[in-house]
Structure 1
Amino acid sequence: MNILVYSGEGASRTSLAHTVRTLKGLVGHHYDVMKIDSAGLAQEPWEESTALLVIPGGRDLPYTRDLKGAANDRIKAYVQAGGRFWGICAGAYYASARVVFEVGTPLEVQGERDLQFFGGESRGVVYPGFVYDSELGANAVAIQLDQKSFPGLGFDETRVYFNGGGFFVNALNTPGTKVLACYSNSNGEENHHEPNKAAMIVCEVGKGLALLTGVHPEYDAAHLDAGNPEYGPSPNIVSRLLEQDQKRIQLMRSLLTNLGLKLTVPEVASSAEQLDQTSLPVLPPGAILGIPDLTPLYLASIHPQLTEGLERTLKSLSSAEGLIKEANDTFQLIPSPDASVPVHTSTLSETPEGDTEEKIIKNIVICKNSAGPSPNLTPQFVMGQFFDHLAKVRASGPHQDLSFGNSLMYGEVVTSTQTMLDKNFGLCQRLPDGFVCNATIQVAGRGRGRNSWISPPGCLQFSMVLRHPFQARHASAVFIQYLVALAVVESVCSLPGYEDVPLRLKWPNDIYAEAPLEEGAVHEDPSKPKMIKIGGVLVNSNFSGSEFLLVIGCGVNTTNPNPTTSINHLIRYHNKMTGKDLGLFTQETLLAHIVVKFEQMYKTFVGGNFTGFGQFEQTYYRRWLHQDAIVTLTTMTPHRRVRVQGITLDYGLLRTIALDDQGQDIPGEELRLQPDGNSFDMLKGLISTKA
């Protein structure tokens, strides 16, 4: 399920960044937190896959202009049908029946609004001094919480960030509205406060709920610039917010829980998930109550001389201070694990798309021995164990001249392994073929389209550099995504005893599994067991000289039960059902198996008998979910019902044949679909434009 955060014109870049960061930190292991614009809300099929829609702080008037019509109609229908909505500051003004803002000033705004989740008027600003695109009107305001709405919270007042927010007039007497918090008397008379002004409300809208907050509980004071003079002299607004930040986080957790969302941790696992709880790695500091800080990147190789060569390459790219300044990231070279690792301060910067994102210098620690850093430094992934497994898996296979995975860069907490390689082309093109970057936690993982990969601890996530020859016309680069997904499944199911572990492929490159049943449950239709996604593949491509420089990204749930299930959970369940005693995978062993299997398949794909993917076609069909499946193409007008036949061996297009009204094939009417740009919804039997 997704959480969508509106990012169109009017949305404050800073509010947007804080909203996305806070949601990823608190519920990101269960939900894909993504941005969406007005066109997406008006045109894309987002409703049924969305657990929460958020309109952040900013400016109400652009919302009114850009969301009128289809977007507003769909938002209202979504909430009426049981959806969840959160409007923050300007988003709360916008979701009220009427806005009254800064009357009698040049900033005055008055008027009716379409959503009307709150049936009354939102009036502001509550505290004077507001200036657009400034912190001059910012404040650390106290809010008084309704204790009945937050049982067990342990406090009834806290401070949160405020800048330009309003209050909800007569909310206590508005039908379907519950007041969660009021602006507190403790803010003082200097703010011209009147008692009982509602700061946070929740409104019943049909079967759904709308949370509206005039304040900003999503703002993390640790990511505000305490030195900004607009925050006042020390102790200033930031310091007052930091004093009560733990209360703010607890409040946020309660608000999200009241909206029906699942929190990342802590939580009670279901009985079916108890099996895997002991294998969950320990989260690094800060992960439970927010997104953890980035950790150093450790670089090591299976042979020390390979690391020496990489170190020379990196030094040739670096400045006298040891900084490698790339297009997307800046890296600091650290000569060894024993050297002092500097702590860098993060900054907010504008992206080419106009978004605000955090930037921080990333430390690369050079490990000159093949054992990598001490396990005490990387307890979640021991690099020396990976290289040992890599050598063992290679020795047991038919190919002995394998090199993928010989050099590896690992970080316990990173932004995105894919972004660090793909968005830093100067660095990437100097890395060896088969270079791997992996992580335990990604705070900005990437997926196909605008999707981001949810990366809880226990999910194996890695990216690999691959140079694919342009002249290999029989081996189109489009098939790399198919090969990687197939390699993940085959790396498990081709092992003796593991053949029946229920891993499958969904076109074009997702890894699915047959969901384990709860104790005593049975499938409603044994011929159609429930299938759930546990992994995916992303391939980014750049053309360089006579070759494609590919960055392959892959994420697959290995030991974690959330957000769906994992390979180890499947193996435990399989053992229970069959009486077998198959061993479980570690991150190190699974990565070694995948890397070796993919390299073996890739060598056959490029060389072999020059038939390319044809050598794997039947294996792919044996693992995929779609043979002879009947689906509806919503990409066509009118929609067409078709039967899936396979994929083409030239460009990897999905082959389908049209059906008549009686469900019979129409000879000669074959329709072909590209893997990129289309989305396959198996549960509904639909193929639609990729959102």
Structure 2
Amino acid sequence: MNVLVYNGAGASPDSVKHTVSTLRRLLEPLYAVCTVNAKVLQTEPWEGKTSAVVFPGGADLPYVKECASVIPQLKKYVSKQGGSFIGFCAGGYFATDFVEFAVGDPLLEVFGKRDLKFYPGIGRGPAFHGFKYNSEAGARAVTLRLPNGDEFKTYYNGGGVFANADRYENVEVLAHYAEPLDVPHSEKAQTPGAAVVLCKVGKGRALLTGPHPEYVPRLLQRMHDHEYNESMVNILGEHEVARLKFLKDALTRVGLHCNSNFADRIAPSLTPLLLMSPSKPQLLSEFERNLEGADVCIKEDIVTLKGNTDNFQIYKGYANYEAASSELLDQEPDEASKSIIISTSDEPYAPRTLTPNFDTKKYYKYLNPQTSVGSLLMYGEVITSSSALLNNNRKLLSLFPDTSMLHVGTIQVSGRGRGGNTWINPKGISASTACVNVPLASPRTGRPISIVFVQYIAMLAYCKAILGYAPGFEDLPVRIKWPNDLYALRPDYYFSKNITLTGKGLSGYTVPLDELEPAFVKISGLLVNTSFFNNKYSLLLGCGLNVSHDGPTTSLNTWVKLLNAEREKCNMPLLPEVEVEKLQALYMNNLDFILKEFVDNGVDRMLPEYYNLWLHTNQIVTLTDHQNIRAKLVGITKDYGLLIAKELVPGTNTQFTGNVYELQPDGNSFDIFKGLISKKVT
């Protein structure tokens, strides 16, 4: 399940950073913590896969404007569907019935009704004088007092008090301000101000705060502000364990499950990126020649390349690993200069001591010598985002030889997805981005190439790599969701239906189309970034696949264990566990082969394989932007890769009216669980 953190108009970048950091520390791997904007909340089918929606600190009025169309969804999600809402500071104001902020101050005053109304009273603030937008001038370490009398200090900057909280039956105060406030907050004398409240809203709950218990002291130390208060940060550091314990208890009260070992879960430092090509050393030579011709600075054999958004320090030889690694220690991942180490002929593979989670020699063992894609490997134990690093730094990307590079990371700390989502990929999630180049027209036939099919090709290649991993893997219940997501059967559905899969191959167990929601769960998604230069398309195919992570969905190795339990009963040889290195190599082999076939001959050979592995054969859907007509999916157009839906005669599932609809992959939200296809709002 997901925990979605709003990152759109009104959200402070620092607040988003602190919120995501703390929630990941407390909630992952039990939940996937990712960021979304208002468009995603409005257009994507997120409710059934989300345990909580979080609005961080920032400014309340932009929330009101940007999320006006989303508010009815949020209210329904919480009150009717039992979801959870969490609002920190501005997010807390946003969820009240009425906001009174800096009343009487012509520069700061905000005064008015709010529509969420999770807290039925007034959010009034600032609780303490001195607040300035985009400044630390009014920041302080405030003391919060818990119902049991315990106290701890946490960060505060402009937050409010929940006025007269003791008046409302559906409101429980989880923490009071221990100090006198600068605004009225209760009709009862001597009643302390409510700083953190838990509101019961229909079937769901809302956790709202005035201060910032989500703020991380070590991240505050990196803030560049002339009002920065070092003594305040030191005080907050002394209360770090109490802060995390309070927030863990609060998140548990809102219905989330938290890590028991959160104290040890700190975001890791980045590690150097190791660049190698033992099977085709000429690719490294070409990269180095391109680097010499680029605008670089060379000092003491270290090449510094200024990318579009990141700087890169490039070393030659693994003997420089310690020096390269020390430059990254305790640095903010998105702000640090990245280190790249180019392998030498003496050490063509990365030493295992530097790559304990990925055996580069094993990867090349399974990579076909004729394969182009992935023959140049750039690996990092801890990276920002395999996709964003390359997409945001086209200067670096342009230095790699065409259709050769694969970027792999074991842990991603700034993963990217569609709609601007960000998340952390822990160990067990195979994160990679393949760089491919495609000509405008086929050199063999002269026909223009429709690159929309590359997303289909990539997911088909990954699916084939999984099912062809070893004998018996054809029984894994893994299928493609249009256009480029990979889904697997849910283990709980498998057990509830007493399903057996061994020996059934691709026919497997046929899930009724109206049971796709309980039956299948996403284990992989593809993000394609496309640009055009040197008279050809340049595509980055970013993919994260759950190989062995015990997270909120399921994994390939979970299914290996389930199938082995079946095979053991039949006295059949057991399946091997999936190794990331071999799987990545097989993915590259399949991608290279299918892509070359596509460039030479078009989609005729690829589409039947894609249909054989997708979830949607003969699926009946409702076209909500066409008067809710019912239609059956019959395939994909061969020119632009549009989904083909034939309209059904009302009351039948087999007779057609003759009307045919073609739907764009990037212009429609397709919820296979609800059977709906509708245009996205742009």
TM interval, short-chain normalised: 0.7 to 0.9
Q: Taking structure 1 as reference, are residues 41 and 343 closer, same or farther at Cα in structure 2, changes over 3 Å only?
A: same
2:313 aligned with 1:332, yes or no? Answer: yes
Aligned to 1:374: 351
Quickly say closer, same or farther: Cα 1:71–1:364, change in 2 above 3 A: same
Deviation at 1:213, TM superposition (A): 0.3
**In the TM superposition, what are the counterparts of 1:520-559 in structure 2 within 5 Å?**
521-522=496-497, 527-528=511-512, 530-559=519-548
Q: 2 CA distance for matches of 1:460 and 1:626?
A: 26
Is 1:166 matched up with 2:160? yes
Shift of 1:463: 0.5
Equivalent residue number for residue 489 of structure 1: 463
Q: Partner of 1:203 in structure 2?
A: 199
- Contact in 1 for aligned 2:43/2:669 (Cα 8 Å): no
Match of 2:77 in 1: 78
Shift of residue 112, structure 1, vs aligned partner: 3.6
Deviation at 1:227, TM superposition (A): 6.6
Superposed, 1:189-588 pairs within 5 Å as: 196-224=192-220, 225=222, 228-232=225-229, 234=230, 236-263=231-258, 265-266=259-260, 289-303=265-279, 304=281, 306-317=283-294, 318-321=296-299, 322-339=303-320, 340-341=323-324, 342-344=326-328, 358-368=334-344, 369=346, 371-390=348-367, 394=368, 401-432=370-401, 433-452=403-422, 455-472=425-442, 473=447, 475-494=449-468, 495-517=470-492, 521-522=496-497, 527-528=511-512, 530-579=519-568, 580=572, 581-588=574-581
CA distance in 1, matches of 2:152, 2:395: 48
Structure 2 residue matching 1:477: 3-state secondary structure: coil
Shift of 1:666: 2.3
Deviation string, structure 1 residues 420-461 (Cα, Å, up to 9, x no partner): 112211221221222110111212222234344662311111
Partner of 1:271: none
Match of 2:595 in 1: 602
* Contact preservation (8 Å) 1:24, 1:33: no
SS at match of 2:473: coil
Residue segments in structure 2 that go unaligned for 5+ positions in a row: 183-188, 500-508
Equivalent residues of 1:331, 1:364 under 8 A apart: yes
Between the aligned partners of 2:646 and 2:9, the Cα distance in structure 1 is: 43
Q: Shift of residue 604 of structure 1?
A: 2.3
Query: Relative to 1, partners in 2 of residues 1:140 and 1:534: Cα closer, same or farther, differing over 3 Å?
Result: same
Letter in 1 for 2:60: D
Structure 1 residues 497, 426: CA separation in 2 closer, same or farther (over 3 Å shift)? Answer: same
Cα distance in 2, alignment partners of residues 45 and 146 from structure 1: 39
| Cα RMSD, aligned residues only | 3.0
Contact 1:629 1:644 (C-alpha < 8 Å) held by counterparts: yes
Amino acid at match of 1:388: K
TM-score of the aligned structures, taking structure 2 as reference length: 0.86
Between the aligned partners of 1:187 and 1:169, the Cα distance in structure 2 is: 12
Give the residue type in structure 1 aligned to 2:353.
Answer: N
- C-alpha separation between the residues in 1 aligned to 2:73 and 2:419? 22
Inter-CA distance 195–237: structure 2 relative to 1 (3 Å threshold): farther
Distance 1:453 1:140 in 2: 29
Query: Distance between the aligned counterparts of 1:72 and 1:480, measured in 2?
Result: 37
Q: Secondary structure at the match of 1:92?
A: helix
State the 1:690 CA deviation: 4.9
Residue 675 (1) aligns with residue 665 (2): yes
| Secondary structure of the corresponding residue to residue 297 of structure 2 | coil
DSSP-derived class of the 2:298 partner: coil
Residues 31/194 of structure 1: CA separation in 2 closer, same or farther (3 Å cut):
farther
Instruction: Indicate the percent of aligned positions where both proteins have the same amino acid.
Output: 39
Q: For the residues of structure 2 that align with 1:666 and 1:481, how far apart are their CA atoms?
A: 30
Cα distance change on mapping 1:183 and 1:655 into 2, 3 Å: same
Q: Deviations over 1:310-362 (max 9, x none)?
A: 344335433124221111221111333322124258999xxxxxxxx942211
- Between the aligned partners of 1:404 and 1:182, the Cα distance in structure 2 is 58
Q: 2:527, 2:542 within 8 Å by CA — same for their partners in 1?
A: yes
Q: Is the 8 A contact 2:371 2:588 kept in 1?
A: no
Check the 8 A contact 1:657/1:665 in 2, yes or no.
no
Distance 1:227 1:650 in 2: 52
Shift of 1:180: 0.5
Paired residue type of 1:209? R
| Residue in structure 2 matched with residue 6 of structure 1 by the alignment | 6
User: Contact 2:35–2:423 at 8 Å: present in 1 too?
Assistant: no
Q: Which amino acid aligns with 1:230?
A: E
Residue 187 of structure 1 deviates from its aligned partner by 11
Q: Does residue 74 of structure 2 align to residue 90 of structure 1?
A: no
SS at match of 2:215: coil
> Alpha carbons of 1:174 and 1:661: their partners in 2 closer, same or farther (altered >3 Å)?
same
One-letter amino acid of the counterpart of residue 576, structure 1:
A
364-373 or 502-511, larger mean C-alpha shift = 364-373
Using the TM superposition, name which of 520-529 and 250-259 deviates more: 520-529
Contact 1:2 1:49 survives alignment (8 Å): yes
Deviations 1:164-189 (CA, angstroms, capped at 9, x unpaired): 1122223234211111111225999x
Taking the aligned partners of 2:224 and 2:608, their CA distance within structure 1 comes to: 63
Residue 135 of structure 2 aligns to a residue whose secondary structure is: coil
1:136-188: per-residue Cα shift (whole Å, max 9, x none)?
000011212234xxxxxxx9332211011122223234211111111225999
When structure 1 is superposed on structure 2, of 20-29 and 173-182 the one drifting more is 20-29
Q: For residue 408 of structure 1, report the CA deviation from its aligned partner.
A: 0.8
Kindly indicate whether the alpha-carbon contact (under 8 Å) linking 2:634 and 2:645 is maintained by their aligned counterparts in 1.
yes
Cα gap change, 1:527 to 1:13, in 2 (>3 Å):
closer
CA distance in 1, matches of 2:154, 2:661: 56
Q: Secondary structure of the equivalent of 1:257?
A: helix
Q: Secondary structure at the match of 1:412?
A: strand
Shift of 1:195: 6.3
Paired residue for 2:137?
136
CA distance change for structure 1 residues 102 and 159 in 2, over 3 Å: closer, same or farther?
same
Structure 2 contact 176–195 (Cα < 8 Å) conserved: yes
- Going from structure 1 to structure 2, the CA distance change for 1:366 and 1:43 (only over 3 Å counts) comes to closer
Partners of 2:130 and 2:138 within 8 A in 1: yes
Question: What's the CA shift for 1:669?
Answer: 1.4
Task: Report the counterpart of residue 275 of structure 1 in structure 2.
Answer: none
Change (3 A) 1:503 1:113: closer
* Paired residues of 1:226 and 1:238 also in contact (CA < 8 A): no
- Rounded to whole Å, the distance in 2 between the matches of 1:105 and 1:450 is 36
Counterparts of 1:645 and 1:423 in 2: how far apart (Å)? 38
Comparing 569-578 and 9-18, the one that deviates more: 9-18
Other-structure match for 1:278: none
SS in 2 for 1:338: helix
Q: Give the direction of change, closer, same or farther, for the CA distance of 1:145–1:128 in structure 2 (3 Å limit).
A: same
Q: Shift in Å at residue 543 of structure 1? A: 1.3
Contact 1:415 1:445 survives alignment (8 Å): yes
Deviation digits for residues 179-238 of structure 1 (CA, Å, limit 9, x no counterpart):
1111225999xxxx9762221110111111111101111212222236744133x5x112
Query: Is this contact kept in 1: 2:20–2:33, CA < 8 A?
Result: no
Is 2:583 the partner of 1:590?
Answer: yes
